[in-house]
């Protein structure tokens, strides 16, 4: 039982291949116009952070590490992501110079994929400018203070969140959820959480 989106992707791939065959004058008996998605195909549900989890995220910054309660080094990254709706790769690609604190603007024009390669983003709409809410500005200021306290010299190209990889981010996030009894969601679903919150705003 594949989801409706998966079926649509498969159908799109078949149709694209058929067009390629036709353009290259290859013989094919495929007739993709007859393809359709079953009406019973289900939309995959999205999991989001519930209100209790949001309260925890913005009030608790600790995890248990080797039996001790310590500050999660990525706490401001989690908060910044849920407050801005960034994809995990976009979050990892942010540099200090991408944030204009005076105008509360965020310029998104790069991402780091799961292979740790720098890309221009997921699609043509990935490059964009967004207005930062108060929660994101607070997370940004706290992260800058954390970088300075760590002895990191700041310039335009300094990574805002020096995270090794998407896998490392995922592992740290899972540890935070377990330590604070928050139901599991993936880092990408923090973006879904943002979208769900934005839907009820004016």
Q: What share of the chain is helix, strand, coil (3-state, %, to 5)?
A: 45, 10, 40
Q: What is the pLDDT of residues 143-158, one digit of tens each?
A: 999 999 999 999 999 9
* DSSP 8-state class, residue 159: B
**What is the residue-averaged pLDDT of the chain?**
89
**Residue 189 half-sphere exposure toward CB, CA atoms < 13 A:** 16
pLDDT at 124 over 80: no
State the Cα–Cα distance between residues 172 and 85, nearest whole angstrom: 19
With residue 82 as reference, give the H or E element that holds it. Answer: helix 75-84
Q: What is the pLDDT of residues 162-184, one digit of tens each?
A: 999 999 999 999 999 999 999 99
State the Cα–Cα distance between residues 70 and 73, nearest whole angstrom: 9
pLDDT at 201 over 70: no
Compare 160 and 38 and report the one with higher pLDDT.
Answer: 160
* 86 φ, ψ (degrees, to nearest 5): -70, 150
Q: Could you tell me if 143 and 160 are in contact, meaning their C-beta atoms sit under 8 angstroms apart? A: yes
Q: What is the mean pLDDT of residues 57-79?
A: 93
Q: What is the mean pLDDT of residues 118-129?
A: 82
pTM: 0.78
pLDDT at 93 over 70: yes
């Amino acid at each position: 039982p594949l989801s409706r989106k998966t079926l649509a992707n498969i159908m799109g791939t078949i149709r694209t291949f058929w067009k390629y065959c036709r353009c290259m004058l290859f013989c094919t008996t495929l007739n993709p116009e007859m393809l359709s998605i079953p009406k019973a195909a289900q939309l995959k549900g999205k999991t989001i952070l519930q209100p209790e989890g949001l309260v925890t995220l913005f009030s608790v910054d600790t995890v248990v590490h080797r039996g001790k309660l310590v500050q999660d080094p990525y706490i401001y990254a989690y908060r910044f992501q849920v407050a801005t709706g960034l994809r995990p790769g976009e979050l990892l690609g942010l540099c200090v110079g991408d944030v204009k604190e005076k105008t509360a603007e965020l310029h998104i024009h790069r991402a780091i994929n799961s292979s740790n390669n720098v890309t221009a983003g997921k699609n043509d709409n990935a490059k964009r400018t967004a207005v930062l809410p108060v929660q994101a500005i607070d997370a940004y200021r706290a992260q800058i203070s954390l970088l300075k306290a760590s002895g990191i010299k700041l310039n335009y190209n300094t990574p805002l969140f020096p995270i090794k990889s998407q896998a490392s981010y995922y592992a740290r996030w899972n540890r935070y959820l377990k330590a604070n009894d928050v139901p599991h969601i993936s880092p990408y679903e923090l973006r879904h959480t943002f979208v769900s919150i934005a839907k009820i705003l004016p």
